[in-house]
Amino acid sequence: MSKKVLIVGGVAGGASAAARLRRLDEKAEIIMFERDEYISFANCGLPYYIGGSIQERQKLLVQTPEAMKSRFNIDVRVHSEVVSIEPARKIVTVNSKDKGTYEESYDALILSPGAKPIRPSLPGIDSPSIHTLRNVHDTDKVKAKVSEEGTRSVVVIGGGFIGVEMAENLKELGLDVTLVEAGPQILAPFDAEMAAVLTKELQSHGVNVILSDMVQGFEQDGSQVKVQLASGHALEAEMVLMAIGVTPDVSFLKESGLSFGPRGHILVDEQMKTSLQDIYAVGDAVEVVDFVNGQKTAIPLAGPANKQGRIAADNVCGLGTTYKGSQGTSIIKVFGLTGAATGNNEKTLKRLGLHYHAVNIHPSSHATYYPGANPMSLKLLFNDEGTVLGAQAVGVDGVDKRIDDIATVIRLRGTVTDLTELELSYAPPYSSAKDPVNMAGYSAENILTGLTEVFVPADLEGKSLQDIQLVDVRTPLEHSKGNIEGSVNIPVDELRDRMQELTLEQEVWVYCQVGLRGYTASRILKQHGFKVKNLTGGYKTYQMSQPLANTTAPVAAK
> Tell me: the pLDDT tens digits for 242-283?
999 999 999 999 999 999 999 999 999 999 999 999 999 999
> Tell me: the pLDDT tens digits for 470-519?
999 999 999 999 999 999 999 999 999 999 999 999 999 999 999 999 99
∠ CA 27-31-36, rounded to 5°: 155
**CATH no. of 336-448:** 3.50.50.60
Closest C-alpha among 162, 156, 166 to residue 242: 156
Radius of gyration of the chain (CA): 27
Task: Give 551's contacts (C-beta < 8 A, 6+ positions apart).
Answer: 203, 207, 208, 209, 210
Whether 557 shows a pLDDT value over 70: the answer reads: no
Q: What is the pLDDT of residue 1?
A: 63
Specify whether the CB–CB gap between 101 and 94 falls below 8 A: yes
| Element of type H or E holding 218 | strand 215-221
Quote the crossing angle between the two packed helices 436-448 and 399-411, to the nearest 10°. 50
Specify whether the CB–CB gap between 273 and 315 falls below 8 A: yes
How far, in Å, CA of 539 to CA of 555, rounded?
A: 35
Phi first, then psi: give them for residue 203, nearest 5 degrees: -65, -40
Active-site residue, selected from the candidate residues 24, 44, 91, 499? 44
Homologous superfamily of the 454-544 domain (CATH): Rhodanese-like domain (3.40.250.10)
pTM value?
A: 0.94
Specify whether the CB–CB gap between 533 and 509 falls below 8 A: yes
Whether 295 shows a pLDDT value over 90: the answer reads: yes
Q: How far is CA 505 from the centre of its chain?
A: 45
Report the pLDDT averaged over residues 338-343. Answer: 98
User: Could you tell me where in the chain the CATH 3.40.250.10 domains are found?
Assistant: 454-544
Report the pLDDT averaged over residues 226-245. Answer: 96
Report DSSP letters for 106-139, one per residue: -SEEEE---EEE-----TTTT-TTEE--SSHHHH
Q: What is the pLDDT of residue 550?
A: 76
Specify whether the CB–CB gap between 345 and 393 falls below 8 A: no
> Tell me: the pLDDT tens digits for 64-90?
788 888 899 999 999 999 999 999 999
Homologous superfamily of the 130-244 domain (CATH): FAD/NAD(P)-binding domain (3.50.50.60)
How far, in Å, CA of 298 to CA of 248, rounded?
A: 10
Q: What is the pLDDT of residue 113?
A: 95
> Tell me: the pLDDT tens digits for 167-225?
999 999 999 999 999 999 999 999 999 999 999 999 999 999 999 999 999 999 888 99
Q: What is the pLDDT of residue 135?
A: 85
pLDDT bracket for residue 556 (50, 70, 90): very low
How far, in Å, CA of 535 to CA of 541, rounded?
A: 8
Q: What is the pLDDT of residue 12?
A: 81
How far, in Å, CA of 275 to CA of 30, rounded?
A: 22
Report the pLDDT averaged over residues 423-445. Answer: 97
How far, in Å, CA of 374 to CA of 368, rounded?
A: 8
**Would residue 317 show up in a list of annotated catalytic residues for this protein?**
no
**Strands 279-281 and 266-267, bridge-based pairing:** unpaired
Report DSSP letters for 252-298, one per residue: GGTTTT--B-TTSPEE--TT-B-SSTTEEE-GGGEEEEBTTT--EE-
> Tell me: the pLDDT tens digits for 112-132?
999 999 999 999 999 999 999
Average pLDDT, the chain: 94
Whether 313 shows a pLDDT value over 90: the answer reads: yes
E-only strand ranges, 346-496: 357-361, 376-382, 388-395, 454-455, 468-472, 488-489
Specify whether the CB–CB gap between 8 and 18 falls below 8 A: no
Report the pLDDT averaged over residues 379-396. Answer: 98
Whether 153 shows a pLDDT value over 60: the answer reads: yes
Pick the CATH number of 4-114+248-316 from 3.50.50.60, 3.40.47.10, 3.90.1570.10, 3.40.190.10: 3.50.50.60
Q: What is the pLDDT of residue 136?
A: 85
How far, in Å, CA of 162 to CA of 133, rounded?
A: 8
Specify whether the CB–CB gap between 61 and 55 falls below 8 A: no
Specify whether the CB–CB gap between 525 and 508 falls below 8 A: yes
Quote the crossing angle between the two packed helices 192-204 and 161-172, to the nearest 10°. 20
User: Could you tell me where in the chain the CATH 3.50.50.60 domains are found?
Assistant: 4-114+248-316, 130-244, 336-448
